[in-house]
Chains A and B, each alone.
Chain A
């Protein structure tokens, strides 16, 4: 079975084509700057040269068509015809309470997805645009939605409910949903494999640290709490998102700055986090700033690190212990100094880090010492393979 996985952002499409007989990647790539005259398509089929093209791509349908052309291209492709694709898996950020697991996309599913747009305004509209484009281009191929929120559907009530009038949950489903579910699911599976233990016996803290960042407490293979909440805004400090903030401060700011709701939303989502403190949102720029003695870069770095550590501590308490801590995603996989600073301050848990092993970037590695009471891993995440597995499973039943 061949599964085509799509991850559509507002101006980008990332994709992978899997052969599910051995989960091998036949092709992968991305389209960036969708909506512009100089969009960039990067494509590589397994064992072939990477292709990069710059061309006008104004919308997702054109982007995906371009990708499909490359996939079946005689020189750069890996299959002869699009009909060889058996199923398409879409990453969808927010499934709300309507979708607790992956689902075959129907008209009703799309209607429900549109109704969830308010919950993830930065992501869901782009995900839906990708679905519509893929349906148009591959009308007879099953389309499956895999949700970032689904893995967290196992959270107990005391973790997902907010301490606000219960009627708001009943009326509007205001609760913690959590995100990056496919990543946390993949990471917990890999931790169990690396530790050669049954996942049901393990307590894992999974730290997905990218431009968006979240931490999840995974006990017995199930998410029991996670730092992102009703939207991806809650929790850790992120590239441009504030993470946790006293709601009282929001009302105060709105009053003092005379801000409408749309602006405060934009301020917290796009102007805060690392960017809000240091003026840059990329951790590599922050690290460079720290090296050059930039005081605000240092402050941003310290807040970022401190908040991760605070959440790890909280989740160790949530699970009454921890067997493993895993770092993943852009920052988690590629920032040894951050991992080192976090782990140094977890000595009370018996965490011991091997500084030499910790120099690793972007490669699956255990970075704790043999004596460490808690195993610490760097694990490059692979959300696409999780999406492909779910997609294949559902497609078999269609």
Chain B
């Protein structure tokens, strides 16, 4: 089946990134969101494109075409017309399962479901839908438009046909697909959280302040973003949640550093509240950290 129209469920940073990238690659995108995201997503996607335009990454007409390819809805009934569903909500099992169950009822019979989960089990999630063979794990790594690689994983029942569709979709988005076994945190999230946690410990122990720790890791390894900035962009509440899930699966080595807990309790959640390990000029995505706090 030709994939022309896709649905992205979830309009957070990941969902918006997937929607923008898919629209840039010529897909018609239906971005499903509820609550604040409904109003927030269109302006955030436009801001992201404006940033690219200002840096000559796209042209004004390309921006218009991309925007015209994204429509927004909070009505899941519209899923009846899509060729592929990408579930991109935060890693809460019951939220994801409920959404996928609804999509399962509404979508055409041969639609493939992609889930972006990292710390949860695809096989377990697939148990809640009538077509478990159609569920594929495709972990897009934020910032989605810029990151060239995705992690692909299968559940116990995932079919080769569904993997082929997911692979074709990811390739159309110009992503390199690396298939790995279904496992908590996959590779990227597991490695990143380990690094974020250890960096937080180093700050907490006074080895160095956030700027020093970030600079040494970032510049020493030639990264475009350091782990602390990445954590601020993911949201420290999400980081804490993911770490707790990984601790349940993988043991005490994923016990969150107390500094992360303290920051979350004091609403220092990163970019979205303007303060995390760093403070930010505005509470926008893609802002540069300008000063260190504490």
List residues of chain A with CB under 8 Å of any chain B CB: 35, 58, 257, 259-260, 262-264, 266-267, 270-271
Contact of A271 among B4, B26, B59, B65 (CB under 8 A): B59
Question: Could you give 22 example pairs across A and B, Cβ below 8 Å?
Answer: A35-B26, A35-B65, A58-B4, A257-B55, A259-B55, A259-B56, A260-B146, A262-B57, A263-B52, A263-B55, A263-B56, A263-B57, A264-B56, A266-B56, A266-B57, A266-B58, A266-B59, A267-B56, A270-B56, A270-B59, A271-B56, A271-B59
In the assembled complex, which residues on chain B have CB atoms less than 8 Å from the CB atom of A267?
Answer: 56
- Of all chain A residues, the one with the shortest Cβ separation from B224 is A260
Report the bound CA distance from A271 to B56 in whole Å.
7
Known: A263-B57, A271-B56. 19 other contacts (CB 8 A): A35-B26, A35-B65, A58-B4, A257-B55, A259-B56, A260-B146, A262-B57, A263-B52, A263-B55, A263-B56, A264-B56, A266-B56, A266-B57, A266-B58, A266-B59, A267-B56, A270-B56, A270-B59, A271-B59
Q: Interface digits, B30-58 against A, CB 8 Å rule (1 contact, 0 not)?
A: 00000000000000000000001001111
In the assembled complex, which residues on chain B have CB atoms less than 8 Å from the CB atom of A270?
Answer: 56, 59
Closest CB in chain A relative to B29 CB, distance in Å: 14
* Interface hits, B224-247 → A, CB 8 Å: none
Report the bound CA distance from A262 to B21 in whole Å.
14
Report the bound CA distance from A382 to B85 in whole Å.
47
Report the bound CA distance from A263 to B4 in whole Å.
27
- Of all chain B residues, the one with the shortest Cβ separation from A11 is B65
- Of all chain A residues, the one with the shortest Cβ separation from B28 is A58
Report the bound CA distance from A251 to B57 in whole Å.
16
Query: Which of B57, B58, B59, B65 gathers the greatest number of chain A CB atoms within 10 Å?
Result: B57
Report the bound CA distance from A270 to B56 in whole Å.
8
In the assembled complex, which residues on chain B have CB atoms less than 8 Å from the CB atom of A257?
Answer: 55
- Of all chain A residues, the one with the shortest Cβ separation from B2 is A59
Report the bound CA distance from A267 to B52 in whole Å.
11
Q: Interface digits, B143-186 against A, CB 8 Å rule (1 contact, 0 not)?
A: 00010000000000000000000000000000000000000000
- Of all chain A residues, the one with the shortest Cβ separation from B146 is A260
In the assembled complex, which residues on chain B have CB atoms less than 8 Å from the CB atom of A263?
Answer: 52, 55-57
**Nearest 9 pairs between A and B by C-beta?**
A267-B56, A263-B57, A271-B56, A270-B59, A263-B55, A266-B56, A263-B56, A266-B57, A259-B55
Report the bound CA distance from A267 to B54 in whole Å.
10
Report the bound CA distance from A267 to B62 in whole Å.
13
Report the bound CA distance from A271 to B54 in whole Å.
11
In the assembled complex, which residues on chain A have CB atoms less than 8 Å from the CB atom of B58?
Answer: 266
* Interface hits, B48-88 → A, CB 8 Å: 52, 55-59, 65
- Of all chain A residues, the one with the shortest Cβ separation from B62 is A270
Query: Which of A35, A58, A257, A266 gathers the greatest number of chain B CB atoms within 10 Å?
Result: A266
Report the bound CA distance from A4 to B200 in whole Å.
66
Closest CB in chain A relative to B24 CB, distance in Å: 11
In the assembled complex, which residues on chain A have CB atoms less than 8 Å from the CB atom of B52?
Answer: 263
